[in-house]
Amino acid sequence: MKTILACALALPILPAEASPASTPDPGELSIAEMLQAQASGRIHCADVARNALATITQRDPQLKAFISVNPDLLADAQKLDALRRVGTVLPLHCVPIAVKDNLDAKGMATTGGSVLLRGNIADKDADALSRLRDAGALLIGKTNLDELAVAGSTISSLGGQTLNAYDPTRFAAGSSGGSAVAVATGMSLCALGTETVNSLRNAASSAGVVALRSTAGLVSRRGAIAQSSTMDVVGPICRSVDDAARVLAVMTDPRPAGAEAARAAAALRAGPLARASLAGKRFGVLANLFGKDPEHEPVNAIIRTALDALRAQGAQIVEIDDAEFDSDLSSKRLNVANYEFGPLFEAFLARLPAGVGPASLRAYVAAERYPTGMSKFLQQSVAWQAPLAMPEYREALRYGDTLRRKMLDLMDTQALDAMIYPAQKRPPLAVGDAPRPERNGIFASALGFPAIDLPAGFTPPDAGAPVGLPVGLDMLARPGDDVRLLGLALAVEQTLQARRKPPTADRR
């Protein structure tokens, strides 16, 4: 096991206080159930912390979801128990939260998965985490990611290769794969991840959980190792839509950036999430976001079956065939992160204390301590002397503005409530397979739209995946319509009821 994690797991797991026979398993509770279990006295926060440590000890050596565990986990839990004893109960009291290791957590290293950044100790929490902890959330630890969050397989020089919760011979996707696997297997109730293009939703799709990308500007990115000033977001990964909505409501920036984000924030403050009726709702389905080859058929069939279930609830499905909405082609034209990463990473390194981390991007690359799959991207970033002045960058921004207007016009003309499409065109790949794009997150990411991924179904079981492999369904709404999107997603989730507990979460 990784050294940092092993040291954290050396914390004493003290015997729990005597509890009623009906004590629930903290690793399987929703947020509402967790709060109720504490209110009724059936569980204490110290129990939750001990359970998290025991579960990580049992499951993480195989899956490698965590890079480090909060060294103050038990002490933090005991403080939350003490608050409850004097009558102070917080909105997310003792709700376990894991955090992707490109987000700051006070007193812990923020490594981005790089062995070269092990000495980067945060002096305060990232804004999003700070709001969650102020609301009573219990920080479990830091999760693995694609190093510096620049790819989609969740492999890093520090954390190794995170494996799929449903079939450990397969990728967990990513780059927020550690967060998604931690949630899927009950090592944490919810987690924070980041997304530039696909990272939250792609990881959630491969883990059979829910991930939310909110309207641009709704959640502060302060305290994150940035990849793109245009596309980056911080978002929740949970096992249900309701849990994701609860986490988003707390982590929303009190001063959101832009009118659309401000509208979303006001709606989140208005009250609890309500399930929308699907009757009469109109969902656009973009034909070019479905794969055309035989190996894509398992995903296509599951999404089409899900659409049939929505029709049965009275929803209207509007098929749209527009060549411009092709994720494979648009990813090449829209991904401004390719140009923004280098200057942002240089600025991050320049802010580190003397003697911590490499001096520059060039020094990071020269050290050759990163996964080999990053090489082409890093070499390109080093070679570009002034990427933000390149005409290709300015053209990508212009094209994004054009496509944003086109998407809004399309949704208005067709009177669409949301778009629906597969998060990725094929099931999770086997470890060792060459990475393939075939992910559909680019439109929400590049255009600033909110989007949510939730389980749609499973491929047929096989020897490697005893319950099958999860397939995620993405829903995209207009900017600022986050609450409306969540209400629709809640209705879709309850209609499909597609989530299954992964075999790796079974207690042995």
* Nearest C-alpha neighbor of 400 from the set 213, 269, 172, 231: 231
- First-to-last alpha carbon distance for the chain, in angstroms, is 19
Give phi and psi for 128, each to the nearest 5: -60, -45
**Catalytically annotated residue among 64, 68, 100, 228:** 100
Cα–Cα distances in Å, from 211 out to 200, 214, 246, 455? Answer: 6, 10, 12, 10
Which residues, 6+ apart, have CB-to-CB distance to 21 below 8 Å?
Answer: none
- Say how many residues make up the chain: 508
Which amino acid belongs to residue 177? Answer: G
Helix (H, G, I), strand (E, B) or coil at 64: coil
* Nearest C-alpha neighbor of 262 from the set 481, 478, 480, 451: 480
Q: Is 199 a catalytic residue?
A: yes
Q: How many angstroms from the chain centroid is the CA of residue 398?
A: 28
| Beta bridge mates, 213 | 451
Q: Is 100 a catalytic residue?
A: yes
CA dihedral 260, 264, 269, 272 (to 10 degrees): 170
DSSP letter for 447, please: H
CA atoms within 13 A on the CB side of 306: 30
Look at the block and give the residue holding tokens 């509402």: 32
Q: Is 175 a catalytic residue?
A: yes
| Beta bridge mates, 455 | 472
Which residues, 6+ apart, have CB-to-CB distance to 129 below 8 Å?
Answer: 97, 99, 103, 104, 105, 139, 192, 223
* Nearest C-alpha neighbor of 36 from the set 86, 75, 89: 89
| Beta bridge mates, 319 | 285
d(CA 219, CA 234): 7
* Nearest C-alpha neighbor of 188 from the set 328, 84, 59: 59
**Catalytically annotated residue among 68, 114, 153, 199:** 199
DSSP states of 148-163 as a string? Answer: GG-SSS-EETTTEE-B
- ∠ CA 441-304-245 to the nearest 5 degrees? 50
**Catalytically annotated residue among 114, 157, 175, 220:** 175
* Nearest C-alpha neighbor of 119 from the set 315, 352, 306: 352
Residues with a known catalytic role: 100, 175, 199
